[in-house]
């Protein structure tokens, strides 16, 4: 994939400054040099003035002052966030005040004929800045909508606070304001749809102590080998490391491994739970089910996709306007869903292709591959390092063209997984909020999967407030 580097004009605080103030410019992060390049239509007026024999010093003042105002605003714009609006204001201020000063200065040093010519040029400048002012008003009035369009997907619920995929974790995420709650779906021995991230049970339940003799030859306990009644006997816990026997937590600062009491639930139970909260609160929180390991299930004689879509239809999820995304890592299953399962069920739902940094997905990452993928997918769910390179530094954020390619082909982009635990924020971001800022607004993703939905929701709300 092609990448673009976002370097600060000077100082770290400026590396996220974006300019969308001027007609026809790019809506992505730009350096001062790039902004000046975008301003060429305006700075060209300097040459127009020179060609009319105006004093070099006066003309230089016009151009330099414009550059100076851009530069002097940069740090404040970035610190306050929303540098685009500050850039608009800078230019409008310049048009309203600075050109009047220049006009006055020129009148006192030139002939009447030259003044008449200069007034025409100035009127052209004023037109440009009037347009900038109009764009500023549109940006200000639309800014809240922009932030509102960015979504928060609660990754396995509020899994940073409570054991993943429990109804308690989903209730917490709902209360925190998440836009979508995720469900990973596997199938049981008796064809029930279970909300569980792994196709095995030992990481998040006490299955080994309750059914010690039910492991397969590889040592794993597969959900598909148990009936729902048997699975109801298990106690769900915070995720533990599978490679050790001490049941130590993957994230030690999260909910204690063996505290309290949680259980597994079915997809139907979770949908009813979410729809019940939607009714009682008046909200419309969506669902985001994943077809887990479809090839494994097919090898076991289970058609997981058809079963999931049947349940979604039964609960009223039938069109792309309904708040549901169906995701899978399997491109072959994505095509089956699009070409066979959805048409057979008489529904049309948003499909998302999940991708990881593996050779399997390499063909999707260029313009032709993305175009082909968009025949079947409405969205893309990449591992977040595929968008901002792990080798980025605070002063050199390396952003791939993945989001741009997806958007160009009509697909939304929801990367995973954003965690605020110690050691989980990449070194190029000062904190979790800065990480969100880089992805939501520099990389321009449409939403994120996060274990900490409250932090993402609060971040977006804060951004919206600062632009009112």
What are the residues facing 396 on neighbouring strands? 393
Given 88, 155, 165, 414, which residue is catalytic?
155
* Catalytic residue flag (residue 88): no
At 205 the three-state DSSP class reads: strand
* Catalytic residue flag (residue 414): no
Count H helices and E strands in the chain, helices first. 18, 11
What are the residues facing 288 on neighbouring strands? 182
User: Both tokens of residue 462?
Assistant: 């804060």
Element (H, E) at 288: strand 286-291
Rounded to 10 degrees, the C-alpha dihedral 189/192/197/200 comes to -10
CB 428 within 8 A of CB 394: yes
Closest to 45 in 3D by CA, of 28, 34, 29, 58: 58
Given 15, 88, 197, 414, which residue is catalytic?
197
CA distance 328 to 336: 11
Residue 14 makes CB contacts below 8 A (sequence gap 6+) with: 8, 74, 75, 78
CB 327 within 8 A of CB 381: yes
**Residues labelled catalytic:** 155, 197
């Amino acid at each position: 994939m092609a990448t673009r580097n976002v370097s600060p004009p000077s100082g770290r605080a400026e590396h996220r400054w974006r300019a969308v103030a001027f007609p026809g410019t790019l809506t992505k992060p730009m350096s001062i040099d790039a902004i000046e390049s975008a301003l060429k239509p305006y700075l060209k007026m300097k040459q127009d003035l020179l060609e009319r024999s105006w004093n070099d010093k006066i003309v230089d003042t016009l151009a330099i002052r414009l550059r100076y105002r851009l530069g002097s605003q940069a740090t404040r714009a970035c610190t306050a966030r929303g540098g685009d609006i500050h850039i608009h204001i800078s230019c409008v201020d310049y048009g309203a005040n600075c050109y009047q000063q220049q006009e006055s200065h020129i009148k006192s040093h030139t002939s009447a004929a030259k003044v008449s010519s200069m007034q025409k040029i100035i009127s052209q400048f004023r037109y440009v800045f009037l347009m900038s002012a109009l764009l500023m008003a549109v940006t200000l009035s639309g800014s809240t909508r922009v932030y509102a369009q960015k979504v928060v997907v609660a990754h396995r619920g509020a899994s940073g606070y409570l054991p993943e995929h429990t109804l308690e974790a989903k209730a917490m995420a709902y209360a925190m304001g998440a836009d979508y709650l995720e469900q990973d779906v596997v199938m049981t021995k008796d064809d029930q749809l279970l909300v569980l991230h792994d196709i095995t049970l030992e990481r998040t339940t006490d299955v080994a102590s309750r059914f010690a003799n039910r492991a397969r030859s590889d040592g794993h306990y597969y959900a598909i080998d148990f009936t729902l009644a048997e699975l109801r006997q298990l106690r769900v816990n915070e995720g533990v490391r599978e490679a050790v026997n001490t049941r130590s937590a993957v994230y030690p600062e999260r909910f204690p491994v063996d505290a309290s009491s949680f259980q597994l639930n079915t997809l139907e139970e979770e949908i009813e739970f979410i729809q019940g909260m939607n009714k009682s609160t008046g909200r419309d929180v969506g669902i985001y089910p994943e077809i887990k390991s479809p090839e494994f299930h097919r090898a076991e004689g289970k058609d997981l996709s058809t079963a999931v879509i049947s349940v979604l239809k039964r609960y009223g999820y039938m069109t792309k306007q309904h708040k549901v995304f169906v995701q899978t890592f399997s491109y072959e299953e994505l095509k089956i869903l699009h070409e066979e399962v959805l048409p057979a069920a008489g529904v049309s739902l948003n499909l998302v292709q999940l991708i990881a940094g593996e050779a399997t997905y390499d063909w999707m990452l260029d313009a032709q591959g993305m175009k082909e993928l968009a025949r079947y997918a409405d969205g893309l769910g990449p591992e977040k390092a595929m968008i901002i390179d792990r080798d980025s530094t605070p002063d050199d954020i390396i952003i791939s063209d993945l989001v741009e390619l997806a958007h160009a082909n009509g697909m939304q982009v929801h990367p995973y997984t954003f965690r605020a635990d110690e050691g989980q924020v990449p070194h190029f971001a000062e904190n979790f909020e800065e990480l969100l800022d880089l992805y939501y607004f520099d990389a321009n993703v449409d939403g994120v999967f996060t274990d900490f939905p409250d932090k993402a929701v609060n971040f977006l709300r804060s951004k919206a407030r600062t632009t009112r």
